Amino acid sequence: MRNYLKHFINGEWVESTGTNTIDVINPATEEVIGRISDGTIEDLNRAVAAARAAFPSFSQTSKEERIELLNRIADEYEKRKDDIVEVVMQELGSPITISEKTHYNMGLSHFRQAAKELESFEFSERRGGALIRKEPIGVSGLITPWNFPTNQTSTKLASAFAAGCTVVLKPSEETPFAAIILAEIFEAAGVPKGVFNLVNGSGEVVGNGISSHPDIDFVSFTGSGAVGQKITENAAKTIKKVALELGGKSPLVILDDFDMVKAAQIAISNVVFNTGQVCVAASRTLVPKSKHDEFVEAVKAILPNIPYGDPQDKSNIFGPLVSEKQYNRVQGYIQKGIEEGATLVSGGPGKPEGLEKGYFVKPTVFTNVTNDMTIAQEEIFGPVMSIITYEDLDEAIEIANDTIYGLAGYVVGEDREKIEKVAMSIRAGSIRVNNAPPEMSAPFGGFKQSGIGREWGSYGIEEYLEVKSIVGIPS
Ligand code: NAP
Ligand code: MG
């Protein structure tokens, strides 16, 4: 049992002022694997006070000092590899291979990347008679979800530290252990006291406390649109800047000149990745009408060979959903797809055979989906693909953009001009062509209701900075 009943405040592990605890469950076994403190507003206030007190000195550190700090953090992070891989496997249910290749690596890459970005980052410039300076925005409240317990926290923390901001982090209560290891890493790396503070607890108490706190200058949130809205409303009362990363309903446009077997492989691997619990999941697959049957046949041939199940088995590429709540949510959408008249190609309601224990779902593919159906409009956050057909490229683009979201878009094809046309026309923050690997220095974030602001690389650092102009300094 992992019992982590302390918060990390002002460089120390401290008891909560409350006595309530929250159980953490391994979604593959449904067993309680540990507990955290259900933090209180008093805990949060202590953490905010520590972050405020640390701000004047940390905000004045040099770029070189912060590059060194970020690299020390990355070095310490590397030493904790085995712990991180195991903890993400246990609390999220991520297969060990993905836990290492994706979760461990992405967390690490943000610290290394932020250090690299700082090398060439200019914090001041001259424009005519003005000196323009970029200064850290202040105490930053970070609220993170459960789907990428190392990546979502690390991208925010690396950018905040690079900018010179002090922080209070509230990770998801579903997956809090990765953040505890991060706190231990920061301790070992010598992050100055008060610069990083961790308060565990619920969104209703600690999360809500962060967005309304008068001594917090900026909130960076990743999670659902509904909570993003609440945070924005709260933050408005103290004119607090917010950055939001709220998920999407991203289209994968398959061009008619592309090999349909390859297209099906890309589409399936994307939609089952992290059990579909991915904000940039390509959950709407747009297929040329003339290629529909060929594509569906390819999907049917590939899907039964996708290994999933026990996260401890190295050959599995996806595990259970994170919680019973997510299981029920995904089941609800599968049911809705059937009710609204979509055709099941594969999968469907209920648990997969042999995986009755744990929050496992069948990888599910629907075809004859129209873009107005609920399963084509709402974020499911599970391994569920909706196939929608199109007549010509203009129609494909129209369907792709017919959504309240704009986080990501995907194109697979051969013809460069057509690929470019689709990539330029989709209103989304990042476009991936032919399964290209992600670029850690490129910005990440959404158009439309997918969010406000950008993370990753230098764009991520910019979020944590205010701009000041000074004129008239005597020379
Ligand atoms: P969520 O409620 O938005 O949770 C995300 C984070 O916000 C958690 O740390 C949560 O705390 C906290 N939170 C909850 N209520 C809050 C409030 N009033 N003020 C401030 N913070 C608050 O997400 P969820 O319920 O876990 O997932 C629901 C759906 O959201 C998913 O099915 C998916 O569609 C979407 N989602 C998107 C992303 C993404 O990457 N964009 C990630 C996760 C989920 P707790 O620890 O108490 O939950
Ligand atoms: Mg859990």
- Indicate which atom in ligand 1 lies nearest the CA of residue 379: 34
Q: Whose CA is nearest to atom 30 of ligand 1?
A: 224
From the list 413, 406, 445, the residue with the least C-alpha distance to 251 is 406
Ligand 1 pocket check for 429: Cβ under 6 Å: no
DSSP run (H or E) holding 26:
strand 21-26
Model confidence at 217, pLDDT cuts 50, 70, 90, reads very high
pLDDT above 90 for 277: yes
Alpha carbons 416 and 182: distance in angstroms, whole number: 43
Q: What is the pLDDT of residues 193-211, one digit of tens each?
A: 999 999 999 999 999 999 9
Q: What distance in angstroms lies between residue 302's CA and the mean position of ligand 1's atoms?
A: 33
pLDDT above 90 for 444: yes
Alpha carbons 221 and 214: distance in angstroms, whole number: 17
Q: Whose CA is nearest to atom 11 of ligand 1?
A: 203
Q: Residue 382 is encoded by which pair of tokens?
A: 């599970």
Q: What is the pLDDT of residues 366-385, one digit of tens each?
A: 999 999 999 999 999 999 99
Cα of first residue to Cα of last residue in the chain, in angstroms, is 64
Q: Residue 134 is encoded by which pair of tokens?
A: 């970029």
Ligand 1 pocket check for 450: Cβ under 6 Å: no
DSSP run (H or E) holding 251:
strand 251-254
- pLDDT at position 472 is 95
Contact 407, 247 (CB under 8 A): yes
384 exposure class (CB count in 10 Å sphere: 0-12, 13-18, 19+): buried
Q: What is the pLDDT of residues 102-114, one digit of tens each?
A: 999 999 999 999 9
Going through 205-297 in order, the beta strands assigned E by DSSP cover 218-222, 241-245, 251-254, 284-288
- Indicate which atom in ligand 1 lies nearest the CA of residue 227: 3
Mean pLDDT, range 436-445, rounded to an integer? 96
Alpha carbons 225 and 147: distance in angstroms, whole number: 15
Ligand 1 pocket check for 153: Cβ under 6 Å: no
Q: What distance in angstroms lies between residue 227's CA and the mean position of ligand 1's atoms?
A: 6
Ligand 1 pocket check for 39: Cβ under 6 Å: no
For the packed helices 260-272 and 292-302, what is the interaxial angle rounded to 10 degrees?
Answer: 50
Which residue do the tokens 């904790």 mark?
Answer: 80
- pLDDT at position 128 is 95
Residue 277 CA: which ligand is closest?
1
Alpha carbons 253 and 276: distance in angstroms, whole number: 18
Ligand 1 pocket check for 363: Cβ under 6 Å: no
From the list 187, 188, 182, the residue with the least C-alpha distance to 151 is 182
From the list 100, 90, 88, the residue with the least C-alpha distance to 27 is 90
Question: What integer best gives the mean pLDDT of the chain?
Answer: 98
279 is catalytic: yes
- pLDDT at position 475 is 77
165, 174, 279, 455: which one is catalytic?
A: 279
Ligand 1 pocket check for 110: Cβ under 6 Å: no
245, 379, 455, 463: which one is catalytic?
A: 245
